[in-house]
A and B are shown apart, each in its own frame.
Chain A
Amino acid sequence: MGHGGGGAMSAELVEHLFLPAYGSAAAAELGDSAVLTVGDGTRLAFSTDSFVVKPMFFPGGSIGDLAVNGTVNDLAMSGATPLFMSSAFILQEGTALTDLGRIAQDMGAAARAAGVRLVTGDTKVVDSGSGDGVYINTSGIGVIPAGVDIGPRRAAPGDAVLISGDIGVHGVAVMSCRDGLGFGTTVESDTAALHGLVAAMLATGADVHVLRDPTRGGVAASLNEIATASRVGVELIERDLPVPDTVRDACSLLGLDPLQVANEGKLIAIVPADSADRVLAALTEHPLGRGARRIGTCVTGHPGMVVARTGLGGTRVVGLPVGEQLPRIC
């Protein structure tokens, strides 16, 4: 299970198993999407993602809109305008058609809202017991505007670290309705397509260095990946992190770190310090970035490592989650 958690074990699997086996792909930047140049110099972003979330319906969304928004966001994190998507279903025998219909409706609505077209797909059914409800894979293609160069290796010392709003919301919303947990909360998933928000940032003319949507593994995993790829340190100011009370309380109850909890409608932006204010202004003017703020800085010290200044004045390392997040006993 841990190998799919988006943390250290997922990274190990990619680095030590997939990349050596794939050969030519070993030079890939390992961003949220691959950047491909075609004959006339047009740069395409290409991404794929699979969705296995349980339960399939949760406060604020479903596996359907998640499957569209997730791939749209992977494309958007390279600055691309998403254009086309595929959808492939793996269904367990006995899945209710009413559930499937609802998921398909959510996918269609999310695609229309994001301005992408679902153009190809596939359906497979596995024996009862061989799967668990509905799994969805989506792939997407988008076009990257000329002059935009966003990648995980571009973070530089002095750059500002921005977040587009409250963190940990999606993860807590899903946990709140899992079997056996079921705590009451008003938190709804933040699932949303972020390419409009990215376009607003790029319209400021700022040289956006890195974008990342901090999904599985949360902000901690994304920042660790950026710090490793760019060989910079990241210093966070813990009291500046936008953690809603509801998320903090749920995490406190379960012994989880909000920085490691999944998001679905937030982005991290690494931008030069002198453009941080105008990028922040562009973010906060957009409906999906109203809670944006600066949360830290890239530094030359401790390259590859993310360190937080605690509210009391101490410091702590913000690590990659190891595997699945495990609520503590007491």
Chain B
Amino acid sequence: MKYLDEFSDPDLARRLVDEIHAATTRPWAMMEVCGGQTHSIIRHGIDQLLPDGVEMIHGPGCPVCVTPLEIIDRALAIAARPGVVFCSFGDMLRVPGSSQDLFSVKSAGGDVRVVYSPLDALKIARDNPDKEVVFFGIGFETTAPANAMTVHQARRLGVRNFSLLVSHVLVPPAIAAIMESPTCRVQAFLAAGHVCSVMGTSEYPPLAERYQVPIVVTGFEPLDILEGVRRTILQLEQGRHELENAYPRAVRDEGNLPAMEMLRDVFEVTDRTWRGIGTIPSSGWRLSEKYAEFDAERRFDVAGIRTAESSLCRSGDVLQGLIKPHECAAFGKECTPRNPLGATMVSSEGACAAYFTYRRLELVDAK
């Protein structure tokens, strides 16, 4: 990973910034889809370097942020059961459900474990045949192949005490939903490079055409993002609306074919609710009938749980780019990373957390 240094070189960055300034003749608003890009933009102060009027709108691409409340509440209910080992990536533990989070369940005696791979959860299941082991399978197209592979392995190995609580979401339907919103301000997209490294780029040209919007596949290091912005500005200024791949070191047009085959085998497309946004048709994956026995929602019968979102939280408006995080009245007051009301304040990739963590100085100065 040493090559990462090359993608944050200040001299090259300055050159790209100069080109962006030279090319920009009027205000533009573009959305970076992925929370990893949002984090990098704020963490490195990239938006501070852009011309006045070029606005980065932070998109819904933080998987922790958009996992729907009802799934979180189901996770909490399953994790609290005796005899269950509930495994999750670390950043899901602090996401608030209707009344508590997974940390609270753990503190109260629930067996909640942080794992770094779904295969670790499968190993726990094999090592603990007397327990029910559940893995919280959230994320975009990036994390789905590993989850699919794990379920496939579980079936192949005959592991019966393992299941997946699935809440996968898909990027292209979200782009379509954002463009079709009557309040949409987005004029171009920086698409998420790692999503395209799995799925390829074929889903994007039709979106660019249908909505007349430039889409540039972009990586996550500072120079990746600046190059993505530069290409997007050039398209906007020239009146073009095409798909461009500015992340060719990771993304091939055809994507990762073995991963896609595994996904097709294990998952099927479903409507999915996005926290703060609502239901987007055909925007998620669930386990296919072939693998239904590994579906934690069926195994634990948790469908009837009622949910209640904070009335103060405007996470959904932030996720749709309708407001900046600090424009929410609860930002930094009732809602902080210590006491988050919504998921965008929890995940390090959430726009609210990024602003709270890195931008407090400006926000204090602005008052």
Q: Interface of A with B (CB < 8 Å)? A: 1-2, 8-9, 180-181, 239, 245, 248-249, 252-253, 255, 302, 305, 307, 310-317, 319, 322-324, 326-330
List chain A residues, Cβ under 8 A from B338. 8-9, 322-323
A252 to B4, Cβ gap below 8 A?
yes
The one of B49, B138, B347 that contacts A314, using a Cβ cutoff of 8 Å: B49
Cβ of B240 under 8 Å from chain A: no
Q: Across the interface, do A329 and B114 meet the contact criterion of CB distance under 8 Å?
A: no
Query: What's the minimum C-beta distance from A299 to chain B, rounded to whole angstroms?
Result: 12
Q: Is the CB of A310 within 8 A of B45?
A: yes
B324 in the interface (beta carbon within 8 A): no
B115 cross-chain contacts in A, Cβ below 8 A: 180
Query: Which of chain A's residues have a CB closer than 8 A to the CB of B1?
Result: 249, 252-253
**For the complex, what is the distance from the CA of A313 to the CA of B43, rounded to whole Å?**
11
Residues of B contacting A327 in the complex (Cβ-Cβ under 8 angstroms): 89-91, 114, 116
Instruction: Let me know if A314 and B94 touch, CB within 8 A.
Output: no
Which residues on the B side are within 8 Å of A324 (C-beta)? 90
Task: Report which of A181, A302, A316 forms a contact with B116, defined as CB distance below 8 A.
Answer: A181
Q: Taking A9-B338, A307-B361, A312-B44 as given, write out 18 further A-B residue pairs in contact, using a Cβ cutoff of 8 Å, ordered by the A residue number.
A: A1-B103, A1-B107, A2-B103, A8-B338, A180-B115, A252-B4, A255-B91, A255-B348, A305-B360, A317-B358, A317-B359, A317-B361, A323-B338, A328-B90, A328-B91, A329-B139, A330-B140, A330-B142
Specify which chain A residues have a CB less than 8 angstroms from the CB of B359 in the assembled complex: 316-317
Q: How far is the CA of A312 from the CA of B48 in the complex (A)?
A: 10
Q: Cα distance A260–B43 when bound, in Å?
A: 14
Q: Is B256 an interface residue (CB 8 A)?
A: no
B46 close to chain A: CB less than 8 A: yes
Are B45 and A312 within 8 A (Cβ)? Answer: yes
Contact A315 B120 (CB under 8 A): no
Instruction: Please encode chain B, from 311 to 332, with 1 for each CB lying within 8 Å of some chain A CB and 0 for all others.
Output: 0000000000000000000000
Q: How far is the CB of A219 from chain B (nearest CB, A)?
A: 16
Given contacts A9-B338, A307-B361, A316-B43, contact A328 B10 (CB under 8 A): no
Contacting residues, chain A, for B94 (C-beta < 8 A) = 323, 326
Residues of B within 8 A of A181 (CB): 116
Give the distance in Å from the alpha carbon of A317 to the alpha carbon of B49 in the complex: 17
In the assembled complex, 13 residue pairs joining A and B whose CB atoms fall closer than 8 Å, in A order, are A2-B103, A180-B115, A310-B44, A312-B10, A313-B14, A314-B49, A316-B45, A317-B361, A319-B356, A323-B338, A328-B91, A328-B348, A329-B64
CB distance from A192 to the nearest CB of B (A): 27
Residues of A near B42 (CB, < 8 A) are: 316
Chain B 328-361, CB-CB to A under 8 Å as 1, else 0, gives 0000000001100000000111000000111111
Determine how close the nearest CB of chain B comes to the CB of A194; give it in whole angstroms: 30
From the candidates A245, A248, A305, name the one contacting B361 in the complex (CB within 8 A): A305
Main DSSP-derived SS at the B contact region: helix
Kindly state the interface size class of chain B when it binds its partner.
35 or more
Find chain A residues with CB under 8 A from B45 CB: 310, 312-316
When the two chains form the complex, which single residue of B2, B63, B142 contacts A249, counting CB atoms closer than 8 Å? B2
Task: Specify which chain B residues have a CB less than 8 angstroms from the CB of A252 in the assembled complex.
Answer: 1, 4
Q: Are A311 and B44 in contact (CB under 8 A)?
A: yes
Contacting residue for B347 out of A239, A310, A316, A328, CB 8 A = A328
B30-47 CB contact bits vs A (8 Å, 1 = yes)? 000000100000111110
- Chain A contacts for B231, CB-based, 8 A: none
Pairwise interchain contact B117-A326, C-beta atoms closer than 8 A? no
Does B190 sit within 8 A of A, measured CB to CB?
no
> Which listed residue, B4, B13, B64, touches A312 by the CB 8 Å rule?
B13
B361 & A249 in contact (Cβ 8 Å cutoff): no
- Say yes or no: B348 contacts A315, CB within 8 Å: no
Q: In angstroms, how far is the closest chain A Cβ from the Cβ of B289?
A: 27
Closest A-B pairs by Cβ, 9 of them? A314-B45, A326-B90, A316-B358, A249-B1, A180-B120, A329-B89, A314-B48, A322-B337, A327-B90
Contacts of B106 in A (CB 8 A): 1
* 8 A Cβ contacts from B1-57 to A: 1-2, 4, 8, 10, 13-14, 36, 42-46, 48-49
